Amino acid sequence: MGIVEKALHVYDDYLFILKERQRVDAFLADSKAYSREDFAAEIAKYQNTWNKIADTMPKELRMNMFMIDCTELNKRLCLECEQLIDRILNRAMEFVLNDTALQIHSLIKNVGERFA
């Protein structure tokens, strides 16, 4: 395989990021109760991907007669990972707040019943 053919496939491992927003939205829209581990696994997936892009992807691709600057593409892929992480963290926060609110409501109700 020549240098041009290799260069064309450098980002193949990261193409999935372009469709992840839909998958993450479906994950977050699911009505099942999530565990911390579910959220942590999703966040870790995108954090690891972000780290791989930042650490291993080339800043430029040199081809036979030209050079491709990859900086903007790398930044865009990392930004997409960050946005996915933010969406997951926001949803996790909603779950924690809802769970906490229900616990507080239950405690207040129990206190009210004791006084009655």
Spatial separation of the C-alpha atoms in residues 49 and 57, rounded to whole Å: 11
| Residue segments in the chain with a per-residue pLDDT below the cut of 50 | none
C-alpha span between 29 and 60 (Å, rounded): 38
- C-beta separation of 20 from 43 below 8 A: no
**Predicted local distance difference test score (pLDDT) of residue 16:** 92
Number of domains in the chain: 1
Predicted pLDDT at 1: 56
| Domain coverage including residue 17 | 3-115
Q: What pLDDT, on the 0 to 100 scale, is given for residue 93? A: 85
State pTM to two decimals: 0.76
Q: Please, where are the H alpha helices in 9-70?
A: 20-29, 36-56
- Per-residue pLDDT, 81: 96
Q: What pLDDT shows up at residue 71? A: 92
Q: What is the pLDDT of residue 84?
A: 96
pLDDT (0 to 100) of residue 77: 94
